[in-house]
Every structure is written in C-alpha cells, then in structure tokens.
Structure 1
C-alpha cells in the first residue's frame, strides 16, 4: 500500500466535489494515468483560477462549483494576461516562474481535454473555443539552470558523511543547554541519522521513504523495494540498492525501533514516531521528515539544505562514479533529460572520479 498516495487520494476525493462537473469529469479521465498527488495539485490550481475569475467578475458563479463552460469559452486573451499578473504580483505570496508555468500548464491540460477530447450528447466538444491554446508556456526546467541553482546548496564529497555524523553527535553538543531539545535528540538521533543516511546512500524521494515498510528491506543484499513515482501499478515495487553505510545505520535503528517507539505489531512502517500524548509509535509523515532535515541543516551550517536536496547530493556523488543511464535508473527518473542536472553540477571528469574512488 502506497501510504502517501492514499493520503493524497483522500484529499482529492474531499476537494473534487467543490469543482464544476466538467473538472470532476476531467479528473476521472486522468486518474488512470496520473497520480492522485499530481491531480490534487491540478485541483488546487483550478481552485486558485476559479476564485480569481469570480473575484474579477469574469464569472457570476456563487461558488467554484457553479463556474460554467460558457464563462471559460468567452474568456479573452487579456483575461489570461491578467491572471498571469495576479500570480506574479499578488500580495499574499507571489509565485516563482516555475510555479506560474505549472499553474498555466494545469489550465492548458483542462482546456485541451474540454475542447479536444470530451464530448456532449451530440458529439460536439464541451468547449467550443480554447483560449489556453493561444498561451505559450516557455520551458523553465532546463538542466543547466537547475544545476546552477543547486550549486553550493547540496552536500558534496565528505560532507555527506559529515552531515550524518552531525545528526548522531554534533547536534547534541549544540543544544546541550536546551534540556527539551537535548532529550528529543537523544530519543530520535539514531532514527534521524538513519533516514538521512538512507537518502544520502540511495537517492530515495521523501515519499518513498515514508512508504517504506519493514518487509521492504533486504539487508543482506543492501536492497529496498519501493513504490516509484509515476508507476501506477499498485502491485509492483521497484528494487533500489543502497550503500553499505546505510546498512550499518539501518541495523542500528532496527535494534531500538520496537522498544524506543513502542511500536504495535500491526504497524508495518519502517520509520515511526512517538508523538506527544500517544502510547504507540506511528508511521512518520512526509512533513515530519522534511521538518527534521531542515532542523539539522540549519545547525549544520547549510540552511538551504532540504530533504530533496539530500537526494540531489546523493545523485551528484553517484554520477561521479557511474554513467547517466545508471544514475537515471537509481533515481527512478522517467528520462535522462532530468538526470542531466548532475552532469552540469560537477566539473570533474569521469576519469578523475574513478581515480579518486579507486582505493575505497
């Protein structure tokens, strides 16, 4: 069972009824091909758009659910320009170019479906005029640009191990005058270091870490079985290898998982937390892992480091020792274009990397 996917599917089911009927139809059409997480983002984007339409008087609907096809059909180009400006200048939080591009892409997908695929009872398109077909969305995610933004914000070479060691030992020294923080660290340092080590030695996504169960671990072969992003086959888990460092940290954590976190037998999750006021350990959430890494990163001196940048850190280090195709497979990327980021992140040649690692 993919825990994060189930959570996002439940949220999608909660939000969808507040959408117009044609959006609900679009979601049903896309559900076999896209993950609930992606569709949930779509719905949030439509929520923002419909709220804006109504606030600007471009829709007379009393609620988002009442927005009509005719109102979408009669939108003018200056309306879309206005929405674009709203996204980039609104006071309650402007959006980056990447976010604006994604929000417009969400709209394009919906409008394309309504004008090119969906039909009414007379076999005519639901949407007779598609204003979004005129909107050019420039590609933002260029590997070279992404790599430039990551420079100096990820862990490199010996820093990978230094960060794991800091979670084990250094953080405790830094908070020794804060009894509450020190106690929490003593309770969780082995688990926290294990999570960081696993990502830094395998490149797992945080959602993949959250979904891990005890049965997914094969310590002897240094292998995990994970639900990969983009794979909608609920019965298939992809084997992913990890380095020996992570094996040691996993063994250490597994020795105390049961007793320290009071884990009931029914709880199959690998990584668990014992929350305040609770008597039994439960599966850690994605948000808890993200917050945990940020907490350590700030004290470590890498305030821009996030749980996803741990994955980037592994990938850059792994790419130095392997080709782009092996890196693509290890990370679970859909194409090598995404993996090209790590070619731009390092100035070292493959021969230098092999020489540097040959004695390990």
Structure 2
C-alpha cells in the first residue's frame, strides 16, 4: 500500500470509534472498492451530518457515536432540505462540495437500507429518506471548464513565469521577514522542483508525495507511481516528465541531503524538516497544498491550487497532443474525464494570443 493510503487508513481507523457502529460496518464493506482516502472523506461528511442532527434536536443522544438507526428512519425530506440549507449558508460550501457531501450520505443510507442486514436478514434501515433526494450531476466537462476559467495557468508562458517566480522573484515579497526568508532559502529548491514536476507531468499531489528515490528514472525522464483508479492499485506505472522537470529535480537532489539531513533509510524524494527536528522526513500532501497556495497568492493567482497545477499542465499538453495521449498521461480511466481539457483549450488559446 502506498504512503498516502497507509496514512489515511490509520486516520480512518482513529476516527471510526467516534462515529455510530453502523458507519464502521459501512466502511468495512466499502474498503474493497474505495480507497481509504475516499472513505476518510466520507467519514468527515458523516460526522458533519450527525453533529447537525444532534444540534437540531433530531437525535435524543448527546454524542454522534450514540445516534440510532431509528433516528435516521425518522428523518423527513424537510429535515434534509434544512441540512442542505445549512451547508449552503452556515458552512459556505461550494455547490460541488455540497453535492459531494450529499452523495456520501446517499451511499451510506443505500447501504443500510439495501445491503446491510440484521440477524433476522431484514435491512438495518427500514426507511431511506435519502432515496427521495435528487442530487445534481456536476460532472459535465463544460461546467467544470467554466469554473476553472481564470483559476489555472493559462499557457506555457504563464507556467514558466510561475516557476521562475518561485525560484527568484518571491523573495522580493518577504525581504523584511527574517523567519520567512529563512524557510524560503531552505525550501525554495524543493518547492520549485515539486511545482515544476507537476507542471511538466500532470502528476497528482498524492503521487508526488509517494515518490521514492528508486521511482525516478532521470535518464528516461520517467516517474513510477501508483495511479488512482488503476486496475492493479499495487502496480506502479511510468509517467513521463519534461526536460525542465528533470533539471528541477536534479537541482533539488543535488542539495537534498545538505538541506534536510535525512536518515539513510529515508527513501522519499521530497522531504520536509519538521519544526524542532534535525532530520528530514517525507513531506505531506497538506504541506504541498499550503506551499502552492502561498506562492499562488503572492503570484497574483489566489485561486490556483496544487490540483489546478495539474489542470494547467493537462490543458497545455492537450493543445499539443490528442485526447488519448492526454488520458494516458493523466491516468484517467476514461476519456470522458479528459473531455474537460477539450473545453478549456479554446479559451486558453484565446488568452495565449491576447498575452502575445
């Protein structure tokens, strides 16, 4: 199992005891088909819903853990509408996030009412209010592309500008902050390497975190990674990266030991130096997300996230290649997912012309 999955499985195991017993049963049923990362997100969605139930007086219990199946059966469609309003107004979730949370709940209720059985072989949940709920289909490539406009790096020139900004120009914004200057000087080569690698390969952040030294073939410019949705999740697949990615990795690897002093047994490519420690450890997904957010805000693109770096690469790559090569490079299970970049391409090319 890769590093991210192992970490998320451990977090999931720690979270389950605080949730109702039937959630653990649901998770055990789904582990064969869904990743620990996905189920960890499900568990967070469930906790939000159950806490809302307690707060609204829809459960007699005072804790999430004690919520009963009978209380789920007693929920009305009006209650669910109120929860949807809670997500929209109080939590300020985007439409996509709200629909994902509702889809998580629909999956749990479906399992309890259609799959799980008690000792008499009757469904655990006799009435499923979530079956009445229609969730919006938000996977349309055109809709997703519209949301991404202005939030990704629009062309090769802007991609180069962002990488250059991290390596050279960001320092101008923190020159009066000694602590920020120190951390920047320690990590800028690593940060530039991570960002350049994603922008030259389309790797997911989890794939970058999981990279070990033996996974890099710098001669062939290939990174061997566990791909999401692969038919064999335990088999690493090769993903090509560009010459600029190779050069950035080499610059980082040249300084890796001097900057982070890792143990000889530490195989991770990208390291971080935890506060108060003197030996580098594998960087986390959250740390990379925060790092990209920091540079993006300073660069003037506050909506640019680590996942949008992948979108930026994919749009640029799609312009030069066909949909099937783009699908393979990104590790998509279907070209339907890759269609997003066909929608983004026209606007990106228009912006590139305007920038010229």
Distance (Å, rounded) in 2 between the aligned partners of 1:79 and 1:289: 38
Q: Per-residue CA shift, 1:162-206, capped at 9, x if unaligned?
A: 211221211234433433333332222211111111000000111
Q: Structure 1 CA distance, aligned partners of 2:308 and 2:40?
A: 23
**Residue 57 (1) aligns with residue 57 (2):** yes
CA distance in 2, matches of 1:234, 1:332: 12
Tell me whether 1:9 sits opposite 2:13 in the alignment. no
Q: Distance in 1 between matches of 2:315 and 2:89?
A: 35
Aligned to 1:357: none
How many residue pairs match? The answer is: 349
RMSD across aligned positions (CA):
1.9
Match of 1:114 in 2: 112
Question: Aligned runs of 1:338-349 on 2, under 5 Å?
Answer: 338-347=337-346
Match of 1:146 in 2: 144
Contact 2:227 2:233 in 1 (8 A): no
Equivalents in 1 of 2:28, 2:45: separation in Å? 17
Q: Partners of 1:57 and 1:166 in 2: how far apart? A: 52
Mapped partners of 1:304, 1:68: distance in 2 = 41
Pairwise CA distance, 1:299? 2.3
Looking at structure 2, the residues matched to 89 and 309 of structure 1 have their Cα atoms a distance apart, in angstroms, of 26
1:136 and 2:134 correspond: yes
Matches within 5 A, 1:3-152: 3-90=3-90, 93-152=91-150
Q: What's 1:251 paired with?
A: 250
Q: After the TM superposition, which residues 164-183 of structure 1 pair with which residues of structure 2 at under 5 Å, given as runs?
A: 164-183=163-182
User: 3-state DSSP class of the match of 2:259?
Assistant: helix
Q: 1:103 offset after TM fit, Å? A: 1.2
Q: TM-score, normalised by structure 1?
A: 0.92
CA distance in 2, matches of 1:129, 1:285: 42
CA deviation map 1:194-223 (0-9, x unaligned)? 111100000011111111110110111110
After TM superposition, give the deviation of residue 249 of structure 1 in Å.
Answer: 1.1
TM-score normalised per structure 2? 0.93
**1:172–1:349 CA distance, 2 compared to 1 (3 A):** closer
**Offset at 1:9?**
0.8
Change (3 A) 1:179 1:129: closer
Moved more, 60-69 or 6-15: 60-69
Residues 211-250 of structure 1 mapped to structure 2, 5 A cutoff? 211-231=210-230, 233=232, 235-250=234-249
Secondary structure at 2:203 match in 1: coil
Q: Could you tell me whether the CA contact under 8 Å between 1:34 and 1:230 is conserved in 2?
A: no
- For the residue of structure 2 that corresponds to 1:347, the secondary structure is helix
Q: Which secondary structure state, in structure 1, belongs to the residue aligned with residue 267 of structure 2?
A: coil
- For 2:126 and 2:177, the matched residues in 1 are separated by 64
Structure 2: 5+ residue stretches without partners: none
Q: Structure 1: 5+ residue runs without aligned partners?
A: 354-360
1:180 to 1:58, Cα distance in 2 relative to 1, 3 A: closer
